[in-house]
Structure 1
Amino acid sequence: MKTESLSGATREAFLGLLDDPTPQVRKALLAHFVTLGQPAVQFLQEVAHGSHRILARHALWYLDEIKFSDPVAEFLGFIRSLNYELETGALLLSRTVSPTLDVAACCMALDQIADRCRELITPPATVREQCRIVNRVLFHEWGFRGNVENYTDPLNSLLDQVLLRRKGIPLTLSTVYLLIAERLGLELEPVGLPGHFIVGCFTEKKPFFIDPFDGGIFLETDEVFALLRANKIVPKSTDLMPTPIREVLCRNCRNLVNHYKAGGDSDHAKLFASFVEEFDATYERHTT
């Protein structure tokens, strides 16, 4: 839905400045948004739910700064937009639990990890070689790991808390891995296995997989199938297909439903169950 309160010229001017990193520009633009109030919020929400990944991230930052947005409404709007982008979606999801989440700090944390990887990557390097560098930085230098001691802690499923505590579950550690890879220009994909979550690379002659929950171990196709069989799951070739971002975020919500229930927090369990229902309803509306 377009924001009628802002003229086309004003909208274009804001869009042209939204990703400007200059402190003076950001301060002035923030002051304009605060003065405009709700029309500015509606404009920023529209951009945050749009298909332009970079502008969406900046719009989310401004929304966080002016504190005018309703995090639950924001995430529902994102779900209904069908413009699914992993980083924006994961941060919006986290804001439903922590409305004062510092979006810029989360993005900066990911940027710092990616910057360190760039320092160590010597071109030309294959995707697999670059992933080895990501493993070294993420799991050894930064110390990210699977939270095997308290797997059902809901904080394991919230991106900001995973970045802060450097531990999570397979889905969120895979999310961190993918967001770093994206910054490095690596074409990796989320792979939602039955009962587990890994990262896949399908750009080389033979696909290979990475398990961030297990320290970034590399897996070949037969090894992934063996992992499934070990968990009493009959593997299918479709299990290795890339998982759509919509399903990654919906599965994140389902995990939170289960983990909040396990912790006796029925209110948050109901909230994330409503997000799962909205993902399903939105998908059904646009596929039938």
Structure 2
Amino acid sequence: MECPSPSPLDYFAALVRDDDSLSLTEAAGAIALAEYPGLDLAALQTELDELAARLRRRLPADAGALQRVRALHQFFYRDLGFGGNVNDLRDADNSHLHAVLQRRRGLPIALAVLYLDLAGQVGLQADGVSFPGHFLIKLHLPLGEAVIDPVDGRSLTRAELEERLEPFLGRETRFELESGMGLGELLGDYLQPASGREILARMLRNLARLHREDGDLLRLLQIQQRQVVLEPEDWSLRRDRGQTLAALGQTEAAIADLALYLQRAGGPADGPRVAAQLAALREAGPPRWH
């Protein structure tokens, strides 16, 4: 008897179950299975491995870290032509690794995942940085760390990083800065390496925001299913999924999500509003078809 293949959601859940065994490239690639269920993820990794092999052939065995970085940037940005998709930022394929690999265009975070894979395969130590507004990469080099923009590989100065950070600071933080606290002291907190789970969460948030703004509830629900699997104790994700389920007429599942949110979120500020929505769903019952 043949065992049925796991669903795309089950497959993603298996990939992200354990942080120790989580493969960022494979799990990030698997996000696209929500939209491309027949996607061959093995082919994605094979293509990356072949690119890494081509890059390694350019490097002498004793190549230092800086020589490896220069070769990687020449190969990734100039020879292969990877960069941002400035012509269509709202294309969901900007977040799908297989499409970014084919088109050489994508969001900074998707470019970063591909960059990190190749960097690791040529012996470089690099991390993703979940910087506000624009995902970054931190390279660990013998003489120190370099923070680069994954869109073009440019190394960013401290002044440039501070300038990018300032618009995202809250009123209280701005007051502290005006009172004498240096922005440089704060910057380090925003340059900490992001875990694989944090990178995947940001990729999913990008897609969820896009589908929500487009009013595409079915595609939004597919992403929210993965968000809940990835971060099962972020109860706000249950609320968000519950509200999408309610809008799609899946009342029973919506009630379960919203009830769990109210039970576990610890008295959230939107509790009364969500409780009223939950009561209305329970009173209305399942949708009636005429």
TM-score of the pair, normalised by structure 2: 0.69
2:2 matched to 1:37?
A: yes
2:90 matched to 1:90?
A: no
Q: Alpha-carbon deviations, 1:170-214, whole Å to 9, x = none?
A: 10000010011121121111111011111112353421112121x
Instruction: Provide the residue aligned with 2:212 in structure 1.
Output: 261
Instruction: Provide the residue aligned with 2:48 in structure 1.
Output: 110
2:151 matched to 1:224?
A: no
**Secondary structure at the counterpart of residue 89 of structure 2:** coil
Shift of 1:159: 0.7
2:192 matched to 1:241?
A: yes
Letter in 2 for 1:151: L
Q: Alpha-carbon deviations, 1:47-66, whole Å to 9, x = none?
A: xxxxxxxxxxxxxxxxxxxx
Q: Alpha-carbon deviations, 1:2-51, whole Å to 9, x = none?
A: xxxxxxxxxxxxxxxxxxxxxxxxxxxxxxxxxx622xx7xxxxxxxxxx
Question: Does structure 1 conserve the Cα–Cα contact (< 8 Å) formed by 2:94 and 2:105?
Answer: yes
Instruction: Provide the residue aligned with 1:188 in structure 2.
Output: 126
**Secondary structure at the counterpart of residue 193 of structure 2:** coil
2:11 matched to 1:74?
A: yes
Give the paired residue count: 219
Instruction: Provide the residue aligned with 2:74 in structure 1.
Output: 136
Larger Rg: 2
Q: Distance between the aligned counterparts of 2:115 and 2:129, measured in 1?
A: 12
Q: Distance between the aligned counterparts of 2:78 and 2:124, measured in 1?
A: 20
Taking only aligned residues, the RMSD between alpha carbons, in angstroms, comes to: 2.2
Q: Distance between the aligned counterparts of 1:139 and 1:211, measured in 2?
A: 11
Letter in 1 for 2:87: E
Shift of 1:282: 5.0
Question: Does structure 2 conserve the Cα–Cα contact (< 8 Å) formed by 1:152 and 1:262?
Answer: no
Q: Distance between the aligned counterparts of 2:234 and 2:66, measured in 1?
A: 34
Structure 2 runs not aligned, ≥5 long = 170-182, 236-290
Q: Which has the higher contact order (CA 8 A, sep 6+)?
A: 2
Shift of 1:283: 7.4
Q: Alpha-carbon deviations, 1:74-110, whole Å to 9, x = none?
A: 1123333443220121122222221111223211221
Q: Distance between the aligned counterparts of 2:223 and 2:66, measured in 1?
A: 36
Instruction: Provide the residue aligned with 2:223 in structure 1.
Output: 272
Structure-2 change in CA distance of 1:37 and 1:282 (3 Å): farther
2:112 matched to 1:174?
A: yes
Q: State which of 82, 87, 101 in structure 2 corresponds to 1:163.
A: 101
Letter in 1 for 2:6: S
Question: Does structure 2 conserve the Cα–Cα contact (< 8 Å) formed by 1:209 and 1:221?
Answer: no
Identity rate, percent: 28
Structure 1 runs not aligned, ≥5 long = 1-35, 42-67
TM-score of the pair, normalised by structure 1: 0.69
